[in-house]
């Protein structure tokens, strides 16, 4: 999101979705797909699209990789289409995945930054001023309580806890080991999920397996 500024948890904001699709355009490489987003999206699309059978199908069709750091830390973002670089799921100014749209879209115009204390710092995007001319008045904490789910908060806490060690290990991997390290990272971060099982228990164990796999790569290449 653009034009971001910090917002206090009890700050009052007036906001209304105008159905204009403005926030869904010019979003090239700016709508992140977190692991839970992909898990939910795959379950949703499997029900209505016979061509979608697994996470691999969803990511290959609707997402693209973005390298966040030279150490091999990769994330996925939604693809865009056309000259307006519109979200691939935008049709006639409407979201085609409304029930499972990514967290970044659902919490818009707010976003949450995790803090070491276990809490969050909120930010607001003021890129489109017309969104703030009418509508309901809400407090930031109430908006995020409604749209930033407990499951997402728990997943974010796992990310925040494990990220430093993952990045530390990735930074130690020699260049000839990076392909294997990135493969492991993507497997455990996005792909290795049973859609019939709860997400969080798998996400927790996947992080442990990822750390173990990265350490084994380092042991094989460096010692």
Residue 196: DSSP 8-state: T
Residues 6+ apart with CB under 8 A from 97: 41, 44, 45, 89
Residue 111 is predicted with a pLDDT of: 92
Burial zone of 170 (CB within 10 Å; 0-12 exposed, 13-18 middle, 19+ buried): buried
Q: Give the percent of the chain with pLDDT over 90.
A: 74
pLDDT tens for 74-114 read 899 999 999 999 999 999 999 999 999 999 999 999 998 88
pTM of the model: 0.92
| Residues 76 and 63 sit within 8 Å (Cβ to Cβ) | yes
C-alpha–C-alpha distance, residues 35 and 64, integer Å: 14
pLDDT digit string, tens, across residues 32-49: 999 999 999 999 999 987
Residue 1 pLDDT > 70, yes or no? no
Instruction: Assign 122 a pLDDT band (cuts: 50, 70, 90).
Output: very high
- Order of strands across the sheet that contains 32-33: 32-33, 74-78, 63-67
Note the pLDDT of residue 55.
96
């Amino acid at each position: 999101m653009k034009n971001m500024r910090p917002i206090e948890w009890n700050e009052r904001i007036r906001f209304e979705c105008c159905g204009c699709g403005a926030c869904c355009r010019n979003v090239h490489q700016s709508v992140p797909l977190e692991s839970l987003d992909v898990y939910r999206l795959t379950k949703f699309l499997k029900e209505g699209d016979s061509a979608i059978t697994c996470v691999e199908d969803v990511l290959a069709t609707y997402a693209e990789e973005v390298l966040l750091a030279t150490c091999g830390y990769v994330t996925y973002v939604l693809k865009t289409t056309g000259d307006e670089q519109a979200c691939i799921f935008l049709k006639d100014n409407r979201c085609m995945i409304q029930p499972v749209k990514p967290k970044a879209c659902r919490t818009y115009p707010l976003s949450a930054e995790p803090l070491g204390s276990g809490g969050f710092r909120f930010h607001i995007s003021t890129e489109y001023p017309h969104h703030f001319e009418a509508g309901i008045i809400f407090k930031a904490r109430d908006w995020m309580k409604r749209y930033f789910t407990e499951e997402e908060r728990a997943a974010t806490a796992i990310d925040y806890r494990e990220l430093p060690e993952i990045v530390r290990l990735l930074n130690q991997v020699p260049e000839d080991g990076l392909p294997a390290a990135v493969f492991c990272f993507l497997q455990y971060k996005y792909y290795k999920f049973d859609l019939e099982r709860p997400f969080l228990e798998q996400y927790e164990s996947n992080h442990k397996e990822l750390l173990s796999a990265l350490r084994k790569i380092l042991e094989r290449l460096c010692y």
